[in-house]
Structure 1
Amino acid sequence: MSLHPDSKILIIGSGVFGLSTALWLARSGYRRITVFDMQDTGWKGYAPGAGIKSASADINKIVRFSYGNEIEYQRLASQAAEIWDGWNQEIASLAEAELPEVLRKGERKLWHKCGFLRMGAGDEFADTELQTLRNMEIEGIRDTQFKSDDDNDIERAARTGWAHKLDVCSRQERFGVHKAVLDSSAGFVVAYKACAWAQHLARKAGVEFILHPTNGKVVGIDTTADHKPVLRTADGKTHEGDLVVVAGGGWTAGLLPEAVGLIETTAGSVATIQIPHDRPDLWDRFSPENFPVVTWGMKEGKDIYSFPRDENGVIKIGFRKIKWTSYGNVAGERISAPSAEENIPVPALEEYISLNLPELAELGLSSTWLCWYTDSIDNSFVVDFVPGRPRVAICSGGSGHGFKFLPILGREVVKVLEGNGDQTVYGKMWKWRTSTAKERNGLEEGEEGPRVLDKQRMASREDWVF
């Protein structure tokens, strides 16, 4: 199909993939863009506690550049970081009335370059870690990385003010070994403020949003006699367009049954710890100035991550090694879809806290939830036209690492939508694909697999106390 500035483009989903696509389409000259969502991310915002169930509606997300041998993602993340820097500067320069409400209070900052400590649980570095360092060398940015057992890096960290973040869990002193790399160029973004800002920019660029539990809830995608796509919404209305982009996160497969087998809805376990305001020792220790984003034990199968405290004293900790599924009947198919479950399976987080952050154990957890993502068969995104449906595109498969690309993802999506995907490195990477591999990122397990939530023992509040 051929797009023109007045093509009517309908986007399903107001999370990261939908927002970035809408913003870049509008800035590319397209004038008739409408975003549908069954959750009111406009009025309620994306803040945790506002009732929005989406991976994009979160406290914070990691911005990292460590991608092993996947240098294309490393490069795209670096380009995104330049825009994150620009957004920080733009927000700081604006008057309060020119900002979305969530940015009028508290910190006016999206992107915190507090560092990212990739910390092992054993006495050897993972192969992917060493490959990441080689790629950093290729890109000319190795000096942003500090390897814990490299004397030159240790000296350079001391000289440049990063030494205090190289072993924040005192693992060398307590266990006699500490294998880690500190990335001084990485950190985190405040997720809910970032999404609110991106939606604000999209609205300013002319994008229309229909955010409502019935008016904005898409229940089906049909096709007219002349091959145009038509959205059916829960209020009984139909919406004809020239192009539909399905960027529905965990709900994508339910709208595109063709995608079952290529993507799957899964959940990571998330918990928070609230630091009391009357504990200045902890408030200072876990501030972004003193504590980086940390991942622990990726080589050893731990797969835990944690953040510095936010402006409200909340520390977020996550477990992504086991990606839970929840099967049900969706549009006549048995597929995994987001569940209303708020509790997390028991074994996820206690070991990390007791071994690495023992001073937090006495506080216990203050909340838990399941963060529903959409995994692809290979953890790479899926951005392409749906086979047999030339006016319906999919923009999904974030696989737990998509948020950092919010400022830049839409640039590459627009190229695909304009029919130039085969001419770009990302269009080729994100093409619709199949696999006959025995293992396909867990998608081969199905409803009988061991990750189904119904088979787990979920944590009760008694398990929140260590």
Structure 2
Amino acid sequence: MESEILIIGAGIFGVSTAYHLSLTHPDPSRVTILDVAPHPAPRAASTDMNKIIRADYTSRFYMELAYEAMDVWEKLPIFTEAGVFHRTGWVLFDSKGDGKGASIRKRFRASSRADPTVDFTVEGAQTKWNGVLSQTSLEELEPAYANPAAGWADADDALKLLLDEAIRRKVRYEVGEVHRLILGENGISGVWTTDGTVYTAHKYLLATGAWTSQLMSPLEDELGLPDIERVESQLTAYACCVAHLRLSPDEAKLYEQLPVVVFGNRGELLPVKSNLLKLNCSRVYNVVTTETGHKVSFPLNHDQSIIPEATKQESLSLIKSWLPQLLENGRQVDTWRLCWDSLSPDNNMLITQHPNPKVSNLYFAAAGSAHSFKFLPVIGKYVVNVLDGTGNGEEGDHRWSWKAPEERTSPAGCAQPS
């Protein structure tokens, strides 16, 4: 089955790229998106109940990109008709001594737009919203600011809407699990799926998130690449442990008043959706050494509801420090999920052509790094620029490029590229 462009993975990068190709490609039917299951893709980090939408960054580059995306969240007809964006605001607590909040506010004030941030105090946070946060432990936290312009989106609904629009415009969607990338004389010549189907294309885009390093490893062995030229040097698979608590109607009425609440670098609380409260807690990593002696990171298993016991206990401890009243009288978390994503050392995305000339028709759109869902409506436009060879300007090309290890220094503050 031949295409001009084969996109592997139907998360935010794959779907957004397919959508933007459907707008600009002369023949969208020559674009194929391939995922392991019918959409919305169940393994993707973006297939989720809700995700945070905000422009709060220490980086001018990402703040402007987020504003661009937020404009689309508010104006794209398929989103506005479905009501997927909810402007609930957010409240940011800093981890003590972090200073992230002050840096973000400084960036807002230096931007071309009005500063949306407002002050709040510990006392104000604990008495507002009918005292829902009155028992929150703040020993390790301090108030930073509130931003009423931020909010959240119905994640899997938005993902499906955008993909449905791409399919309506003739992009093809195929179901199959990629087993191996096939190396030919002039680059990648195809991909095998586990059922034996071979998909071929002129260009291949890996939008495979946490599965990128695992998928690339056999090809990297075949090419004989050293560690510095392997994709593991650019990103690492990791998961955020997510807890859902089902609320009674009275509880839902109480907690639905809350904005997004960020507890420093320790986690986040997202507002109520369908009587469920979502809490982003601990992180999980899974790195192994292959028979060829290389490090490869990938998800623990395909069942994302299976949580390591130590991770579960750490997450429960965090929840008890945030909202202890929700776990009183032996109450349990209703559902757990490991939300797998890929993380770069500097929290920048990886949107680039493979640097090895032997596979010059292979491209990446990955390393969401826990902050990329908000860019769903626009990021595909920039991936298309890379596929077309036009690039994204000096700063964009550098931030999203394949970098040497010394260039990928970790920024201060999780998911806040500087």
Under TM normalisation by the shorter chain, which class is it? Answer: 0.7 to 0.9
Shift of 1:199: 1.1
Aligned twin of 1:370: 338
Distance 1:180 1:347, change over 3 A: farther
Contact 1:117 1:166 in 2 (8 A): no
Deviation for aligned residue 1:353 = 3.3
- Measured in 2, the distance between the counterparts of 1:166 and 1:253 equals 47
Task: Map residues 112-123 of structure 1 onto 2, 5 A cutoff.
Answer: 112-120=86-94, 122=96
How far off its partner does 1:36 sit?
A: 0.9
Contact 1:121 1:296 in 2 (8 A): yes
Residue of structure 2 in register with 1:218 after alignment = 178
Change (3 A) 1:326 1:401: same
**Alignment-derived partner of residue 64 in structure 1:** 54
| CA distance 1:426–1:140, shift in 2 (3 Å) | same
- TM-score, normalised to structure 1, is 0.75
The superposition leaves residues 210-240 of structure 1 with CA deviations (integer Å, 9 ceiling, x where unpaired) of 02xxxx2122222433446322222223222
Residue 432 and residue 354 in structure 1: after superposition, are their counterparts in 2 closer, same or farther (change >3 A)?
Answer: same
CA distance in 2, matches of 1:426, 1:36: 27
- Which of these residues, 291, 297, 303, is aligned with residue 264 of structure 2? 297
TM-score for both structures, normalised by structure 2 = 0.83
Task: Please say if residues 94 and 101 of structure 2, whose CA atoms lie closer than 8 Å, have aligned partners that are also in contact.
Answer: no
Aligned to 1:306: 269
The verdict on how the C-alpha distance between 1:206 and 1:425 changes in structure 2, with shifts beyond 3 A counting, is: farther
Superposed displacement of residue 364, structure 1: 2.9
Deviations 1:134-161 (A, max 9, x none): 11111244541112159xxx9xx9xxxx
Which of 376, 381, 385 is the matching residue for 2:353? Answer: 385
Q: Which residue does the alignment assign to 1:188?
A: 152
* Separation in 2, partners of 1:219, 1:284: 47
Provide closer, same or farther for how the CA distance between residues 405 and 437 of structure 1 changes in structure 2, counting only shifts above 3 A. closer
Q: For residue 129 of structure 1, give the secondary structure of its aligned residue in structure 2.
A: helix
User: Which residue identity is paired with 1:71?
Assistant: R
SS of structure 1 residue aligned to 2:360? strand
What is the rounded CA distance, in whole Å, between the counterparts of 2:374 and 2:110 in structure 1?
22
Matched, 1:27 2:23: yes
| 1:198 to partner: Cα distance | 1.3
Matched residue SS, 1:203: helix
Tell me the secondary structure at the aligned position of residue 56 of structure 1: coil
**Residue type at the aligned position of 1:435:** P
Measured after TM superposition, the shift of residue 129 of structure 1 is: 1.3
Percent identity over paired residues: 24
Give the 4+ runs in structure 1 shifted more than 4 A.
Answer: 163-168, 171-175, 328-334, 437-441
Task: Give unpaired runs (5+ residues) of structure 1.
Answer: 1-5, 47-51, 94-107, 158-162, 442-466
- What corresponds to 1:283 in structure 2? 252
* 8 A Cα contact 1:229 1:244, kept in partner: no
Query: What residue number does 1:238 align with?
Result: 198
**Aligned position for 1:269:** 241
Is the 2:136–2:321 Cα contact (8 Å) retained in structure 1? no
Maintained 8 Å contact 2:10/2:34: yes
Task: Deviation per CA, 1:76-132: give whole Å up to 9, x if none.
Answer: 111101111123x44554xxxxxxxxxxxxxx321111011112355x6x3221111
CA contact (8 A) 2:239 2:340 kept: yes
| Correspondence for 1:131 | 103
Take 2:409 and 2:397, find their aligned partners in 1: how far apart are those partners?
24
Map 1:44-443 to 2 at 5 A.
45=40, 52-68=42-58, 70-87=59-76, 89-91=77-79, 93=81, 108-120=82-94, 122=96, 126-149=98-121, 164=128, 169-170=133-134, 179-211=143-175, 216-227=176-187, 229-257=189-217, 258-277=230-249, 280=250, 282-287=251-256, 290-298=257-265, 303-310=266-273, 312-320=274-282, 322-327=283-288, 334-340=295-301, 342-344=306-308, 345-362=311-328, 363-388=331-356, 389-421=359-391, 423-436=393-406
Amino acid of the structure 2 residue aligned with 1:8 = E
Cα distance, 1:332 vs structure 2: 9.0
Tell me which amino acid in the other structure corresponds to 1:81. Answer: M
Q: Per the alignment, in what secondary structure is the counterpart of residue 346 of structure 2?
A: coil
Contact 1:382 1:395 in 2 (8 A): yes
Corresponding residue number in structure 2 for 1:8: 4
Q: Partner letter of residue 73 of structure 1? A: Y
Aligned with 1:243: secondary structure?
strand
CA contact (8 A) 2:33 2:172 kept: yes
Gaps of 5+ in 2: 218-229, 412-418
Amino acid at match of 1:16: I
Label 1:191 to 1:170 Cα distance change in 2 as closer, same or farther (>3 A).
same
1:379 Cα shift? 1.2
